């Protein structure tokens, strides 16, 4: 790290990469020290130590992120979110004072929830920043990890799954075999909507979002009135491509074609409309 930072004009892409990797390793050490600290009674003392370790770990990951090397920047962003997330969870799970009556315990736990909430909010904001990298086609394990965490933290917005659900292939070889099979089936049956849909889901799982879009649109060319295609395409635009307007249009179409049979879509529409309104109001200020 020091060698790259001091190299000036002699810096190279290689030295930048090595500096980012070394910085990430140093940050990981700070993260492990932070994670090992338990919140015990008296909370004031243990929380002060935990927060000090948190600031050290956050500063280390910010330094890693500042190098701008993608694979370490996404890792650093994910870990910064997890640092805040862990502190919120640790507060809620912290050791309770002994010899405290039930009413006082309830008040104490309410205070813990109030203290934990801002850390969860920060974690959500940072995870969301990481997931927005998918809009530029970045979908590595750390961006995927942020999507997983957000599905737990904000299930109404991020806990969406394509129809029908399909597990991602566990290996590169298995993924290649599945893609070959799907393409062969499309060659034999070019109007098979189910295969277009499965291929779209596969491509999304691989982070090939524009190709996934093309597969879903091809299915709609075969039959526009296919509810689950509109549902999956809406999710793709909403979560992975950052295109709210077409996402809304496909959510609307899915709602209309399914005659309101899926109560989730009303929540998705309301959430996305509210986000759109907030953007408009924010831009007008």
pLDDT at position 218 over 90: yes
pTM above 0.85, yes or no: yes
* pLDDT band at 285; cut points 50, 70, 90: low
pLDDT at position 7 over 70: no
pLDDT at position 9 over 60: no
* pLDDT band at 122; cut points 50, 70, 90: very high
Count the Cβ atoms, other than its own, within 10 Å of residue 115: 16
pLDDT at position 176 over 60: yes
pLDDT at position 4 over 60: no
pLDDT at position 3 over 70: no
In percent, the amount of the chain with pLDDT more than 90 equals 86
Mean pLDDT of 4-24: 78
Give the Cα separation of 215 and 210 in Å (integer).
Answer: 9
Count the Cβ atoms, other than its own, within 10 Å of residue 120: 18
Give the Cα separation of 51 and 80 in Å (integer).
Answer: 13
Name the token pair of 43. 């909370």
Q: What is the pLDDT of residue 99?
A: 85
pLDDT in tens, 126-173: 999 999 999 999 999 999 999 999 999 999 999 999 999 888 887 999
Give the Cα separation of 277 and 284 in Å (integer).
Answer: 11
For domain 172-284, the CATH superfamily is Tetratricopeptide repeat domain (1.25.40.10)
DSSP 140: -
Q: What is the pLDDT of residue 2?
A: 54
Mean pLDDT, the chain, rounded, equals 94
Cβ(240)–Cβ(135) below 8 Å: yes
pLDDT at position 209 over 80: yes
Domain ranges for the chain: 2-158, 172-284
Length of the chain: 285
């Amino acid at each position: 790290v020091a060698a790259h930072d001091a190299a000036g004009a002699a810096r190279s892409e290689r030295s930048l990469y090595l500096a980012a990797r070394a910085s990430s390793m140093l940050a990981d050490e700070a993260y492990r020290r932070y994670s090992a600290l338990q919140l015990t009674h008296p909370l004031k003392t243990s929380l002060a130590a935990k927060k000090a370790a948190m600031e050290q770990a956050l500063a280390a990951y910010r330094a890693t992120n500042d190098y701008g090397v993608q694979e370490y920047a996404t890792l650093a962003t994910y870990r910064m979110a997890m640092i805040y997330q862990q502190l919120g969870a640790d507060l809620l799970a912290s050791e309770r004072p002994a010899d405290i009556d039930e009413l006082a315990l309830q008040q104490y736990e309410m205070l813990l929830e109030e203290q934990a909430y801002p850390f969860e909010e920060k974690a959500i904001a940072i995870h969301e920043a990481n997931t927005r990298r998918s809009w530029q086609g970045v979908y590595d394990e750390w961006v995927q990890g942020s999507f997983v965490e957000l599905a737990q933290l904000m299930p109404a917005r991020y806990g969406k799954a394509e129809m029908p659900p399909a597990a991602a292939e566990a290996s590169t070889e298995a993924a290649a075999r599945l893609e070959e099979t799907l393409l062969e089936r499309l060659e034999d049956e070019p109007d098979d909507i189910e295969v277009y849909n499965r291929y779209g889901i596969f491509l999304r799982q691989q982070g090939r979002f524009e190709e996934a879009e093309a597969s879903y649109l091809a299915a709609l060319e075969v039959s526009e009135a296919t509810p689950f295609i509109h549902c999956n395409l809406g999710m793709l635009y909403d979560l992975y491509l950052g295109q709210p307007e077409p996402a809304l249009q496909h959510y609307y179409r899915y709602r209309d074609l399914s005659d309101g049979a899926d109560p989730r879509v009303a929540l998705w529409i309301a959430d996305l409309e509210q986000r759109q309104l907030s953007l408009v109001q924010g831009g007008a200020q």
